[in-house]
Amino acid sequence: MIVTLGLLIFYIGYNYLKGKNIFSQSRTFYAVFDNVDQLMPSASVQLNGFQVGVVDKIYFAPNSYKVIVKLVMTEKNVILPKDSEAHIMSDLLGTRTLHLTLGKSQTLAESGDTLISVRELAITDEIKNAILPIKKQVESLAGSIDTVLHGFNNVFNRKTQDGLTNSFESMNNSVLKLEHAITQADLLITSEREKLGAIFGNVKSITENLKNNNDKLSGIFTNLDKITDDVAKSNVKQTMTDLQQAVGHLNNVLGGIEKGEGSLGQLAKNDSLYKNLESSTNSLNLLLEDLRLHPKRYIHFSVFGKKDKAEKK
Tens-place pLDDT, residues 277-302? 788 888 888 888 887 888 777 776 55
Q: What is the DSSP letter of 297?
A: G
Q: 140 and 59, same structural domain? A: no
Q: 116 and 8, same structural domain? A: yes
Is the separation of the CB atoms in 33 and 70 below 8 Å? no
Q: 17 and 86, same structural domain? A: yes
Answer whether residue 204 is part of any domain: no
Helices 236-259 & 262-269 angle (0-180, nearest 10)? 50
Q: 58 and 132, same structural domain? A: no
Q: Which residues make Cβ contacts (< 8 Å) with residue 192, sequence separation at least 6?
A: none
Determine the structural domain holding residue 261 and report its residue range: 235-296
Quick one: the chain helix, strand, coil %, rounded to 5?
60, 15, 25
Q: 66 and 144, same structural domain? A: no
Answer whether residue 181 is part of any domain: no
Closest C-alpha among 50, 111, 49 to residue 80? 111
Q: 113 and 131, same structural domain? A: no
Is the separation of the CB atoms in 31 and 98 below 8 Å? yes
Answer whether residue 252 is part of any domain: yes
Answer whether residue 197 is part of any domain: no
Answer whether residue 62 is part of any domain: yes
Q: 149 and 90, same structural domain? A: no
d(CA 106, CA 84): 11
* Angle subtended at Cα 111 by Cα 107 and Cα 116, rounded to the nearest 5 degrees: 60
Q: 133 and 53, same structural domain? A: no
Split into its structural domains, the chain has a count of 3
pTM given for the model: 0.36
**Is the alpha carbon torsion for 32, 36, 41, 47 positive or negative?**
negative
Q: Which pLDDT belongs to residue 141?
A: 78
Q: Which residues of the chain have pLDDT under 50?
A: 304, 306, 308-313
d(CA 178, CA 2): 114
CA 232 to chain CA mean position, Å:
46
Q: Which pLDDT belongs to residue 30?
A: 92
Answer whether residue 164 is part of any domain: no
Q: 34 and 113, same structural domain? A: yes
Answer whether residue 61 is part of any domain: yes
Q: Which of 155, 177, 200 is the last residue of a domain?
A: 155
Q: 67 and 6, same structural domain? A: yes
Q: Which pLDDT belongs to residue 120?
A: 65
Q: 135 and 36, same structural domain? A: no
Q: 93 and 143, same structural domain? A: no
Answer whether residue 106 is part of any domain: yes
